Structure 1
Amino acid sequence: MSEPHGTAPANGDPPLGPLYIAIDGGNSKTDVLVGSARGELLGLVHGPSSQPQEFGVPAAIARLDSLVRRALEEAGLPPGTVLARVDAYLAGADLPVEVDTLLKAIGETGWAREYRVDNDLFALLRSGTVDADAVVVTCGAGINCLGRRADGRVARFPALGEITGDWGGGHHLAALALWHAARGEDGRGPRTALSPAVAAHFERASVEDVGAAIHLGELDRARINELSPVLFSVADAGDPVAREVVARQAEEVVALATVAARRLDLLDRPHTVVLGGGVLAARHSLLHDAVIEGIAALAPLARFVVPGDPPVTGAALLAMDALAPLDPGGEAALREAVRTAAASG
């Protein structure tokens, strides 16, 4: 856990009590929230990815600064207002040196008097549970896992992709859908309904045409990531190749959750497992049921939560936890306010 870094002159806390900035910076989007320790939502803005591993730290901080300025404006706070606290949870804050670098960079922005920076899994975990003994797995664009225990121990994974043994996540699943579709079409692999489904998705006559279009720049390579839902749709229809990929993803989620629990001696103890990220939050029955059954077989006392609130809610609650004693009424108010804001667009 990172220690708060840096101080700045206070503008004075308003009648609502201490105000904070909460940031959830994922692989595909960034949410910034301004709120009070009592649970009021004052500002909430959404933006593109601010992933420091993709854009570099200076560019990531610049993106965050723009969103913070917008959130402060929405909250009706004048430019230069120094808030009580910033809690920033970012994808790409995986290694201790990365957390320290980001903490220093965000601490130099002058947004607040105190700062905490860490991996975005902490925000997702808090959005799902306040339980001290808990494990969280995210399977969105990528995949990662974190565990914590009431005695303060934490289990983490580097989550740097194939070089640290990672498997799965929406982008990887999408690439596998295209890979299997190509091989199923040309005979190098088993026939699969992924082949016509992938070709149809891109309005091409064949998967070979899809590959050529990507190679020649006629199709943006980033559009490959659209194929994750196609994979699940084909799997739901019974295609054995697609179902095997989904089963493999379930095995990886089970492995992450149970390894983290084992490291913390939680396998035979009650604990909460939070399942988040776009792939897991979709609750595809083939994947969801296999994950629940697989974890329960090894950790029979585990309880499962798929959060209904976005991770930025967890980031905000962590800030509120740090600013004041836990207030169930304030937490409920904040959750409801974020849901209402999300529903209104």
Structure 2
Amino acid sequence: MFFLMGVDGGGSKTFTVICDEKGNMVGKGISECGNHQSNGINHAIANINESIESALKMAGLNKSNIDFVQFGLAGADREKDFSILLPALENLAFSNWDLVCDTMEGLRAGSADNVGVVLVCGTGTNAAGRNKDGKMVQTGGFGYLYGDFAGGGQMARETFRAAVRSWEHREDPSILTKKVPEFLNYPSMNELVNAFLDNDIFTVPNDLTRVLHDAAEEGDSVAIKILTNMGKELGLAAKSVIKRLGNLESPIPVVLTGSILQKGKNTYLLESIERSIISEYPEINLIIPTIEPVYGALLLAMDQLNITVTKEMYQSFESYGGYEG
């Protein structure tokens, strides 16, 4: 019996799952941030190991019992990152393992042959792809200064900004002027703005994106415009990957991952992504995976051991749910 481990290390959580060769989950563990770019490599590795040890304890296994470990880590973007991560992961003492950027987990979660484009829209944004020759490219993932303009954090800022502009009549009338202060526990925009300025507050919580989605669903034109613009930006990132990657057969799989896309599933956002991409590449297949990224890591591990992934295995991963599932 083979035992495989998938480790998904993100900016807020690290999630580890162990399964057998038939896809039966035997253990899982969760800890905090696994991105070395956020709090340093020592902190990231400590959290990664904590989630691993929790999963091993639940499974009643030791590290020596694991036949293959697939790490999918946010921040594993460039050669410099790999030069930091690989020696640190080596110290975890697994005999057989591999490291990819977490984008590749997402691609495998939605693409059976691990070929195509993946768009990530969670707290931040990223885009990547892989062709049939194994060539991989990445567009974005480094923040606003380096060209990114999407993700939950950006959406939250745009939501707050639009509410201020609408309140001051610099933007069309919008129900965001009511919804934003309510969400942030203020009776009005006037009291919200003055409280923030008085206390030098220049950030907003990422979950303000829920207000944006709610307003769009109620037909608010300002909210719809924000989501449409975000969709256009994500589409541009996908087209960048397609152009740089080359050698992708039509219809091109475009896998949509991250909480905004997998859980939000906003119609305006999704339609805008599709319009943006098909303006240049008319034959695409938008795919929203129904499994968490960590199960994409397990699928990659199965590929490494030449284990055939069946429909039943994928359905098992769906049933296991997410961090709390």
TM-score, reference length from structure 2:
0.91
Shifted more, 50-59 versus 232-241: the winner is 232-241
Give the aligned partner of residue 12 of structure 1. Answer: none
Give the aligned partner of residue 111 of structure 2. Answer: 129
CA distance in 2 between counterparts of 1:90 and 1:214 reads 35
Q: Deviations over 1:190-222 (max 9, x none)?
A: 432211110111221223433454567799x87
In the alignment, which of 239, 257, 272 is matched to residue 253 of structure 2?
A: 272
Q: Does the CA-based 8 Å contact 1:268-1:300 persist in structure 2? A: no
Q: Deviations over 1:116-164 (max 9, x none)?
A: 1121001011011123540010111111001111122222124110121
Give the aligned partner of residue 91 of structure 2. Answer: 108
Give the aligned partner of residue 68 of structure 2. Answer: 85
Give the aligned partner of residue 66 of structure 1. Answer: 50
CA distance in 1 between counterparts of 2:307 and 2:4 reads 15
In the alignment, which of 228, 234, 246 is matched to residue 253 of structure 1?
A: 234
Say whether 1:289 aligns with 2:271.
yes
Give the aligned partner of residue 332 of structure 1. Answer: 312
> In structure 2, the residue corresponding to 1:27 is in which secondary structure?
coil
**Structure 1 position 298, deviation (Å):** 1.8
> In structure 2, the residue corresponding to 1:138 is in which secondary structure?
strand
CA distance in 1 between counterparts of 2:23 and 2:98 reads 19
In the alignment, which of 222, 229, 253 is matched to residue 241 of structure 1?
A: 222
CA distance in 2 between counterparts of 1:317 and 1:268 reads 22
Say whether 1:56 aligns with 2:40.
yes
Q: Does the CA-based 8 Å contact 1:23-1:88 persist in structure 2? A: yes
Opposite residue 238 of structure 1, the aligned amino acid is: G
Say whether 1:40 aligns with 2:21.
no
- Superposition RMSD in Å: 2.4
Distance 1:292 1:189, change over 3 A: closer
**Structure 1 position 266, deviation (Å):** 4.9
**Structure 1 position 39, deviation (Å):** 2.5
Distance 1:154 1:269, change over 3 A: same
Distance 1:266 1:213, change over 3 A: farther
Distance 1:188 1:268, change over 3 A: same
Distance 1:218 1:166, change over 3 A: closer
> In structure 2, the residue corresponding to 1:328 is in which secondary structure?
coil
Opposite residue 319 of structure 2, the aligned amino acid is: T
Distance 1:261 1:318, change over 3 A: same
Q: Does the CA-based 8 Å contact 1:93-1:119 persist in structure 2? A: yes
Shifted more, 118-127 versus 224-233: the winner is 224-233
Q: Return 5+ residue gaps in structure 1 as ranges.
A: 1-15
CA distance in 2 between counterparts of 1:133 and 1:340 reads 25
Distance 1:187 1:304, change over 3 A: closer
Q: Does the CA-based 8 Å contact 1:24-1:32 persist in structure 2? A: yes
Give the aligned partner of residue 202 of structure 1. Answer: 184
Q: Does the CA-based 8 Å contact 1:132-1:148 persist in structure 2? A: yes
Say whether 1:307 aligns with 2:289.
yes
**Structure 1 position 165, deviation (Å):** 0.6
Opposite residue 27 of structure 1, the aligned amino acid is: G
Give the aligned partner of residue 342 of structure 1. Answer: 321
> In structure 2, the residue corresponding to 1:50 is in which secondary structure?
coil
CA distance in 2 between counterparts of 1:268 and 1:43 reads 38
Distance 1:209 1:255, change over 3 A: same
Distance 1:217 1:67, change over 3 A: farther
In the alignment, which of 163, 170, 191 is matched to residue 145 of structure 2?
A: 163
CA distance in 1 between counterparts of 2:200 and 2:184 reads 11
Paired residues, number = 323
Say whether 1:99 aligns with 2:82.
yes
TM-score, reference length from structure 1:
0.86
Give the aligned partner of residue 141 of structure 1. Answer: 123
CA distance in 1 between counterparts of 2:115 and 2:61 reads 38
Distance 1:26 1:214, change over 3 A: farther
CA distance in 2 between counterparts of 1:159 and 1:71 reads 29
Say whether 1:151 aligns with 2:133.
yes
